[in-house]
Amino acid sequence: MEHRTATVNGVRLYFRLSGAGPAILLLHGWPQTGREWDRIVPALAKFGTVIVPDLRGSGFSDKPATGYDKVTLAKDVDALVTSLGFERYAVVGHDIGAMVAYPAAAFFRQRVTKLAFLDVPLPGIPPWDEVLADPRVWHFSFHAQRDLAEALIRGREYLYVERFIRDRAFNPAVIGDDEIAEYARRLAAPGTLRASLGYYRVFAEDAAANRAFAQEKLRIPVLGIGGDRRWGPAMQGIVDAIAVGARGAALADCGHWLAEERPAELAAMLVDFLKT
């Protein structure tokens, strides 16, 4: 993949490119970076130009003090796509990246052609209120504790990332020690921990924005995919709340990390969705 940086919407974003043709934007989750898509990119790059940024606050991109609401992050990545000369694009997001992908599609309705989001509830969109009471999302509240979360994670990034990732995998062995070490190194880099925890500290703002967006449902193709051992059973209800004629699906024997746990199956589903 080609490695680049671009300054857009007031921040410098690091991103990678592969393939040629229509733009396909891939947005990562937490505590990951764009590297999470490495198993998927080769299949998608046969059908389009795959754009894989590190979000503001993560990886090799800038870590400003503000701007972690998902509408601002959506504006970042939309401006990145524009800077590359694309007027329209499809967007695929996982986890926090999916929380960015939805407002990108809802805010830039004339530009986003298709939306796929992977294994995450959306702030403000049913069943969000029930989700907040689910013990599986204990980290939402923990990460929102400014200063305390940083104090407890700092210096223990590898321990925290390893436990965080492997506890959410159906088969923990599919994500290697080298990948976990890379994510831990990036999280330990100056400014990253504080910045990336900011994604969780604006959920109330994100929820208000999403409720407003959902008043007018999307009419582009929308696909929600989850692991059957994580959010898969809830995906159809979530996509029905935000789009007309949307489709939900679950990958069998899969936890939260779809791109690593079921890369072949996920790639096939995304290719079928994006190329039609």
Residues belonging to the active site? 95, 200, 256
Could you give the residue ranges of the DSSP H alpha helices within the chain? 41-44, 70-83, 96-107, 128-131, 138-143, 148-153, 157-167, 177-188, 192-197, 203-213, 235-242, 258-261, 263-275
Closest among 69, 31, 32 to 52, alpha carbons compared? 32
In eight-state DSSP terms, residue 263 is: H
Could you tell me which residues are beta bridge partners of residue 226? 250
> How is residue 158 written in tokens?
């590898």
DSSP 156: -
Q: What is the DSSP string of 12-45?
A: EEEEEEE--SSEEEEE--SS--GGGGTTTHHHHT
